[in-house]
Structure 1
Amino acid sequence: MKEKEAAVISRIQLPTVTTVDKTWKKTTVAIRQAAQSELGITKPGRRKVDKQAWLWTDDVKAKLREKSLYHVFRRKYS
């Protein structure tokens, strides 16, 4: 996490000071852009989770396929 924090902070380029309101607005935009470019964004209300599907065992993959087929069945016959 410290590496990500350092990467975001290093990308922030602060604007020259003109008025407090303009400087604050430009600073918040710069911080958001740096964070989005380094950390990415997700859809509202969802957490960004790396599911690492390559770690799943064959049993887990089979259960997921079974669950998926069940949902297809329910949509088709409900």
Structure 2
Amino acid sequence: MASYTPNLNLYKKDPIADGNDFFNIKTMMNDNWDKIDEKVKAALDDIGDLQSEQVRIATGSYEGTGTYGASNPCSLTF
């Protein structure tokens, strides 16, 4: 009996139960290739979106004065 893969919902034939069935190119190949192509395109689009936003990372350091509390305010400027 045929089944489907859990992630991409690709069509899978069972070689034992379906071994005498005719090979249907549309169902057994083309539909699966279309699903794979669609998912890869979506993933590539997501990667492109991340790259186009040009994420920036700022680094720095801070050395405290050893004082704290309301009477000893501290500030960080970026």
**Structure having the higher Rg:** 2
Q: Tell me the TM-score normalised to structure 2 length.
A: 0.31
Higher strand share: 2
Higher helix share: 1
Q: Tell me the TM-score normalised to structure 1 length.
A: 0.31
Q: Which structure has the higher relative contact order (CA within 8 Å, separation 6+)?
A: 1
